[in-house]
Amino acid sequence: MSRFERWKQIGQPLIGVAGLLAVWEIAAQSGLVDPFLLPTVGQTVEALARGVTSGPLLGDLAGTLDRTGTSFFIACVLAVPLGVALGSSANVYRSFEFVIDFFRSTPASALFPLFMVVFGAGDTTKIAAATFGAGLVVLFNSAYGVMNARKTRILAGKVMGVGRLRLLLDIMLREAMPQIIVGMRGGVSIALIIIIVSEMLIGSSDGLGYRIYAAQVLFDMPTMYGVIFATGAVGYAFNLFFLILDRRFIHWGGK
């Protein structure tokens, strides 16, 4: 790859960012939107920098990352093995398909009252709700990946006398890994969204969601937009991590 192509690859994604910031700045400076409701890009960046250097934003970020990471880890530990087990048997999966699809289609935020009854109004409720939402996405994709494993490779393993457990771990699981990574990408995004929403709605004293809500109540719009920007950056970083993981380590996907 030439130097020009490398710079082009790096610079192309920034075109959309520059365009968005330009539209934002024009709307704020021209008065198309009430300046009180839409601060300039500079005011937002200044508020974000102030929150990082001398404000509570780093603590809020740490709290949100801790809750999101904990819920996502629990979701993967529970959902990946369960999804692989379900996907390895078509009859078992069909038996639970309705239940899985029903809860997968139910917004986890709608179940906040149930989680609060069971776990109380605290971090446990936030983590449980995020684990539930993320786990269903990971579970479905894990099962789907196993069910769509290449039949020729499975048949070759059976012909060579490979046992069922080794067939599941060495062939089916490897075949399913690209789809499992897709489920993890979706699952970590769902976990982050649920944590942010729960920090807004359920009693919190820190977290990015809490800071967005607090800034909105105080009509501190630069801070509110700055924290929203930080939240989007966290979500993008999660997504980028799994894209890199997929490209570098799941190299056999689609082959």
Q: Tell me the pLDDT tens digit for each residue of 176-218.
A: 888 899 999 999 999 999 999 999 888 778 899 999 999 999 9
Residue 169 is given by DSSP the state I
- Matching residue, tokens 């649920």: 194
Q: Which pLDDT value is given to residue 204?
A: 79
What CATH number belongs to 57-249? 1.10.3720.10
| Structure tokens that stand for 206 in this block | 């820190």
Cα–Cα distances in Å, from 23 out to 43, 101, 137? 15, 40, 35
Q: Between 236 and 146, where is the model more confident?
A: 236
pTM of the predicted structure, to 2 decimals: 0.85
Residue 153: is its pLDDT beyond 70?
no
What is the structure's pLDDT at 225?
93
Count how many residues are written for the chain. Answer: 255
Spatial separation of the C-alpha atoms in residues 121 and 167, rounded to whole Å: 45
User: Could you report how far apart the first and last alpha carbons of the chain are, in Å?
Assistant: 24
Rounded alpha-carbon distances, angstroms, from residue 184 to 69, 116, 126, 200, 233: 12, 26, 19, 24, 18
Kindly report the number of other CB atoms within 10 A of residue 1's CB atom: 7
**What number of other Cβ atoms are within 10 A of residue 33's Cβ?**
12
C-alpha to C-alpha distance for 60 and 247, rounded to whole angstroms: 31
Cα 87 to Cα 113: distance, rounded to the nearest angstrom? 31
Over residues 90-117, the pLDDT tens digits come to 777 788 878 877 887 888 778 888 888 8
